[in-house]
Structure formats: C-alpha cells, structure tokens
Structure 1
C-alpha cells in the first residue's frame, strides 16, 4: 500500500471519528478543515496510485462529506 493511500484511509478514519463528536456548529468547521486537507490528498493519491484509486478516494470523501456537497448542489441549481 502506498503512502498516499495510507494517509487517505487515516483521513477517512479521522473524518468518521470527528462525526461522532458533539458539535455546536453542526461540524461545519471540521468539514472545512477536512475539505482543505482532502482535496490535495485526492490529487496526491491520483498521481501516485492512479486514477482508479483517486476516484475511489474521491467517492469515499464525498460519502463522508455529503451534506456540504448537497448544499453546494442546491446553491448551484438556484
């Protein structure tokens, strides 16, 4: 397993642990930090492990951060 994939799996574990913690702002600050770390990580995984793994990591990140994506989609439709 390559280093970018290890970091991507650690990112997924950290995102799930953060989601279990209570939050007053409905986890928006944590989501922004996860997005800021996750976007370059998807590029790193794609460059090192190939586009298939990059798409899988992107799909995993989208599953974890689905509400920011849903809100972005609704804003774009308006």
Structure 2
C-alpha cells in the first residue's frame, strides 16, 4: 500500500475515534482539526492515485464529517440564492 492510502485510512480511523469520544462542545473543534488534516491527505491521494481514488476518499470523509458538509451546503445554497 502506498503512503497516501495508509494516511487516508489512518485519518478515517482517527476521525471515527474522535467522533465516539463524548464532547460538551459538539465535536466542532475536532471537526475543524480533522478537516485541516484531511485536505493535505486528499491532495496526496489525488497526486499519487488520481481523481477516482481521491473521490472515493472524499466520499468516505464526507460520510464521517457529514454535519460540517451539510452546513457548508446550506451556506452555499443561501449565498447563491441571494445572488
């Protein structure tokens, strides 16, 4: 396995573990940190394996971090609706 796939799998496992830990702040600081760590991993997967593997990792990441993705979609929809 390549380094990018190992990092992507490790990122997914770490993100799932952080999501299982009880939090009083609804996991938002952890989500921001995991997004910041996940973007370079996504770029590395894209660079080493191409667009299809990067899209597969992105789909897995969005399934783990679904609420930040939902809020981002709502924000974009609001911005485009007023423009």
Fold match, TM over 0.5? yes
The residue number in structure 2 matching 1:5 is 5
- The root-mean-square deviation of aligned C-alpha atoms, in Å, is 0.8
TM-score, normalised relative to structure 2: 0.89
Q: Provide, for residues 34-72 of structure 1, a one-character-per-residue CA deviation record: whole Å limited to 9, x for no partner.
A: 000101110100101222111111111111111001011
* Structure 2 Cα separation of the partners of residues 52 and 76 of structure 1: 25
* TM-superposed deviation, 1:76: 1.7
Give ranges in structure 1 of 5+ residues lacking alignment: none
* Structure 1 Cα separation of the partners of residues 56 and 76 of structure 2: 24
Give ranges in structure 2 of 5+ residues lacking alignment: 79-83
Q: Are the equivalent residues in 2 in contact too, given 1:2–1:49 (CA < 8 A)?
A: no
Equivalent residue runs for 1:1-78 within 5 Å: 1-78=1-78
Larger Rg belongs to: 2
Query: Which of structure 1's runs of 4+ aligned residues deviate more than 2 A?
Result: none
* Structure 2 Cα separation of the partners of residues 36 and 19 of structure 1: 16
